[in-house]
A and B are shown apart, each in its own frame.
Chain A
Amino acid sequence: MTRPRLQIFATLLVNFILWSALAEANYMLGPWQLRLWLGGLLVAPSALRLDFQVGATAAFVTGLALDAAAPVAFGTQALLLLAGHVFLFHVRDRLARNENLVNMSSTLLANLALFLVLSFTQIDAAPAPGRAWLRLFADLLASQVVLALVTSWAFALHGRLLLAVGADLRREHGGTAV
């Protein structure tokens, strides 16, 4: 398997682990009518570290997997995650990507933006959009809090897996020390 393919595989594996853990968390949170959505975390590590095509492929495939389990038009979240990847990739050269705080802030902002865009695509179905937004903000708040707690771990896991498949993170970071 070539290096980019291994990187895609490693990224998809991390995303799969995150998604499975998230499904368990949402099962537990169900009785409280709260739901976590961490789309930003599924795109940020690869968008900030990997080549464009590698990250874009991983983001799109992850989005398709999310779409398969959701009552949305197939491809909605895939294109959304791809868009998130594109924007993060576009600004990443202006960011100090070695800083944990920067990675966390980027992930939080990406998650916020993706959540709001997805909400706008789905809000029409709600019988009372005003009250639906209150619920969505509660979900968003819970998601952002959890995201702040797990982002460092997810980035570390992603980094370790990339190293395991032979990726040169020093090169991916544009020559800066890691």
Chain B
Amino acid sequence: MLPKRFDQAKPFVTLGVAAVAWLLVPAVVKRGLRLSFFEMRAPVAATASFVHDLQDFWALRTHSNNDLLEAGRQTAGVLAGYELSVQQKDQLQAENERLHELLNLPAEPGFRFEHARVMERDFSGWWQQLTIRKGTNYGLTVGAPVVSAAGVVGRVREVHAYTAVVELVSSPGVRIAAVLEGDTRPISYQGGDNPALGPARGVVDYLPVDVLASAAAPRKLFTSGLGGVFPANLPIGLLTSVEPSADGLFKTGGVQLDPGLASLAEVTVLVPLPAAVAPASAPP
């Protein structure tokens, strides 16, 4: 029989043994377990998401015909504006392609747009992520950029059978090469400054010392296209404050992200087209 003192310490010994044993478990087993646990719970979360959609549907059904007519009129106006924009876009695209050919520039990466509903939101002080209702079944790939009407949303971190996890642009793990509007000098954006009860924020490093911005006179921040994940010129947010960095060589700044980021119900995944995945195979 073990002495009483050991009996009292037994739970702690068990904890230590479990911790050491867990460290020794092969990575492939851990990965398999992780995938299994995620996929086991995914149907429940997806069902809850479909129930949300059903709630929204029935809520919309309660609107009167007059409301629908008014909404239809507004939508028609918006559509007319979009049709004009599409025509202009086609002209600009044709011009762009012609100039690319003239200058013999390499082709820009192409993307397929995959719209997906948001299934879960997980916005903590530790990490910020969304789970969307599309995965391998729609050809999503890890690292694919995710956007919305307001600009960059994040990037796909994990792809599962019917779902995918998106790491938000407000998450501390996200770093993006960015540029300010009207400036070509690249700067570094990082998410992760997310106060409670307010819109998410990010920070920028390596700002040139001549850059000025304030809440009253913010500067727009865009993706630079460097780094290969995000295409260029996607809006990230507004640079609303700058201050000298510790070494005095650069400035750092605070970035106000779109307040709608935290209430997104639908996002668009930019799935790289096969030709864009392997640009090295293209003839020089």
Residues of A near any B CB (own CB < 8 A): 20, 23-24, 26-27, 29-35, 37, 52, 56, 60, 64-65, 67-71, 74-75, 78-79, 82-83, 86, 89-90, 118-119, 122, 125-128, 131-132, 134-136, 138-139
Contact = CB atoms under 8 A, between A and B. Distances in A.
Contacts of A86: 11-12, 14-15
B34 A74 contact: yes
A21 to B, nearest CB: 10
A69 B10 CA distance: 31
A69 B164 CA distance: 11
Contacts of A64: 33-34, 37
Interface in B180-231: 190-200, 202-203
B104 interface: no
A136 B199 CA distance: 15
A54 to B, nearest CB: 13
A89 B14 CA distance: 12
Interface stretch (B56-64, B66-74, B125-133): B125-133
B196 A82 contact: no
Contact of A90 (B11, B22, B38, B157): B11
A68 B32 CA distance: 10
Contacts of A70: 122, 127
B41 interface: yes
Contact of B122 (A26, A82, A89, A134): A26
Contacts of A138: 125, 195-197
A23 B45 contact: yes
Contact of A125 (B12, B22, B129, B192): B192
B279 interface: no
B262 A60 contact: no
B38 A69 contact: yes
B126 A119 contact: yes
Given A33-B195, A86-B11, A135 B125 contact: yes
A135 B12 contact: no
Nearest to A52: B11
B245 interface: no
B32 to A, nearest CB: 10
7 contacts: A31-B262, A60-B18, A68-B38, A70-B127, A86-B15, A136-B125, A138-B195
A131 B12 contact: no
A122 B125 CA distance: 9
Given A23-B120, A127-B193, A119 B44 contact: no
B106 interface: no
B110 interface: no
Contacts of A122: 126-127
A139 to B, nearest CB: 5
A109 B23 CA distance: 28
